[in-house]
Structure 1
Amino acid sequence: MLRIITPVWLILFVVLTLCSPVFAIELVDSSWVAENIHKAKTIIVDVQSQSDYYAIAHLPGAVKVNRHADLSDYTQEPPTLYPSPEQFKQVLDRLGIENDSTVIAYDDKFGLFASRFLVIMEMYGHDTQQLMLLDGGIDNWEQEGREESTASVQLPASDYTIVDNRAGIRLAWSDIYRDKLAKNLDAIILLDVRPENEYLGQKIRGIRGGHIPGAINITGTKANDSETQKFLSLKEIATLYADNGITAESPVYLYCHSGDRAAHAYMQLRYLLGYKNVRIYDGGWNAWSSKLFLPAQDTHWLWEQ
């Protein structure tokens, strides 16, 4: 009997081709940004990890977003949840972003914080074809010797119209409890994208360490080159997830500690690979671990350290 064996690389190529998103947040390189940075209706958004980094250096013309003050709902518990529609509208109005703006976001940490900003923009109705992530962020921009600025930028205020699309992206703790713990739906993959030491409870960032029962662990930044901070090839990223049982057909529930790494992994799965059924628990381990009625695996308590 003739056996036909299809190479893994060919399977991945077909999957990536078929799943390539038509309406997608786009990953752009520094050359493209340099050519388009001054176009009308284009706004560059700096989401560096520390608020004072903007004054030290940023891309020319970039407006500043404070990761903690602007991209969190500080009225809720924990205060790291994604912002409410009212809060985020205030941010967009201050930045001068309009509904038809082309937005290019970057940061200094593998795209974690820029991804958070772009995912929140998608949640509140911005056309994803007008959203872009600078590959490699400011670190790669500097490595290539490109122009930077220290001048603060203030654009005219806008009046952004929010469209609430949270239901298709965001999960609550109860969704995970219902689907993975109560119903035990094996088809759904619960993916913890924190560093392994947090997943195993060895590093505790809260009252207890560990992970949600049934979650598998892939640290999302494994999809980035550690030196340039740029993303690996699509084939390498697809293999990273496929080796852990995640394919285009897999429904995936993502979480991390506080929603940054989850947004970064969402960007990879939803927009680089084009996987359709991906959602984020933005409360993450920060919220889950504080609800002591919820179960955990590899539990270590803060006072045991």
Structure 2
Amino acid sequence: MSRAAVIACCLLLAAPGTAGATNNLAYTGDPHWLDRPGTVVLDVRPLADCERASVPGARCLPAGDLLGPHGRLPSFRQIAWLLGTLGLSGRETLVVAGERAQRRDFVAGILYLAGQRRVLILQRPLQAALHAAGLAETPGRPRSLLADPIYQGRPRARLIVWRAELARALTRPHPPLLVDGRGRDAYLGIRIDAYRGGHIPGALSLPADGLSTPQATRPSATTLAGAIAYAEDPMGGIAYFAMLHAGLGAAVKVYPGGWRAWAAHTALPVSDETYVARPRHPTDVAASRSDRALSSSSIGLPLGLLAGVAGGAVAYTALYLTTRKVSWN
């Protein structure tokens, strides 16, 4: 049996993990964390929603603020400055709340990687949690122009694996375990969401959607310890990383570039590799007709030239015979 098959069996048969065993990054279903003394609430909904009505004292941090152009991640220095503009020092206990799970988990994962001391993820949608806790809605606080105080969290850089580092690790005799958080159809290359379809060689399919299954069927934290998680892109990958840490208590690492960054580098290996069949564009049809016309004209040009030469030769011969006496004897 192959190594991948053995690990897959372990994932299915492993004993239940301890959800939230990574205490510094954990889920909570208790809405009373929203007004507990000593905690700071981060509202990750769009800025307009946060400023209109949020938890009393909440800070507004839309998930999009943590992504640059084309979904690229900012540097740790830029993230630290941004968190400072929210009045964070890194020593607080943060409660991350929102309406969309992936954006909520993405922000929580970024905060944890940036060095935040403790991050709790509120599993309930924010509006439902507000009503459950009996809290009045007040406008959220947006970011200021200056970072005060200076954010002092120490990045957990050891949990991040970059593309070149991952490519080198895959060439070693004992490569690391990888888990792919995309859907099964994307993993197999049936659905192509990047330059190429497929998955990183050796990766196991463990879709993020499947982690909401009953506790008994979840993989154990021990099985996943040291694994490298990735998904489609930075937002999906870091949200998946946070889900594995907070939901399963698994001490995984993350390849934040995700499948899109890996697939775009054509020198990197891919399993179950597929490509998008490019549809014919109207300009392609016109170009094809133009090529056929050019081909016909290029063939017709020498034929016409030969016919003209032959006709000229016949005319010259007839003129010569009519102007000279030719003896046949």
Q: TM-score range by the shorter chain?
A: 0.7 to 0.9
1:58 CA displacement: 3.8
**Among residues 256, 266, 269, which one is paired with 1:292 in the alignment?**
266
Name the aligned partner's letter for residue 102 of structure 1.
Answer: T
User: Does the CA-based 8 Å contact 1:105-1:117 persist in structure 2?
Assistant: yes
Matched, 1:174 2:176: no
Per-residue CA deviations over 1:98-122 (Å, capped at 9, x if unaligned) read 2332211123222x22222222222
Inter-partner Cα distance in structure 2 for 1:217 and 1:85: 30
Aligned equivalent of 1:217: 205
CA RMSD of aligned residues (A): 3.3
Aligned equivalent of 1:31: 31
1:288 CA displacement: 0.7
User: Does the CA-based 8 Å contact 2:55-2:130 persist in structure 1?
Assistant: no
Matched, 1:135 2:123: yes
Percent identical: 21
Aligned equivalent of 1:64: 60
Structure having the higher Rg: 2
1:146 CA displacement: 5.5
The structure whose residues are more often helix, as a share, is 2
CA 1:135–1:213: 2 relative to 1, 3 Å: same
TM-score, normalization by structure 2:
0.68
User: Does the CA-based 8 Å contact 1:51-1:67 persist in structure 2?
Assistant: no
Shift >4 Å, 4+ stretches? 50-53, 142-148
CA 1:121–1:146: 2 relative to 1, 3 Å: same
**1:1-305 alignment, distance < 5 Å:** 12=15, 16=18, 20-21=21-22, 23-36=23-36, 39=37, 41-48=38-45, 50=46, 52-54=48-50, 58-68=54-64, 70-74=65-69, 79-110=70-101, 112-128=102-118, 131-138=119-126, 140-141=128-129, 144=132, 147=135, 149=137, 151-154=139-142, 158-180=148-170, 182-185=171-174, 188-224=176-212, 235-236=215-216, 239-242=217-220, 247-248=222-223, 250-276=225-251, 278-304=252-278
1:284 CA displacement: 0.4
1:257 CA displacement: 1.3
1:53 CA displacement: 4.4
1:171 CA displacement: 0.5
Aligned residues: 266
User: Does the CA-based 8 Å contact 1:81-1:282 persist in structure 2?
Assistant: no
Is the partner of 1:43 in helix, strand or coil? strand
1:71 CA displacement: 1.4
1:81 CA displacement: 4.0
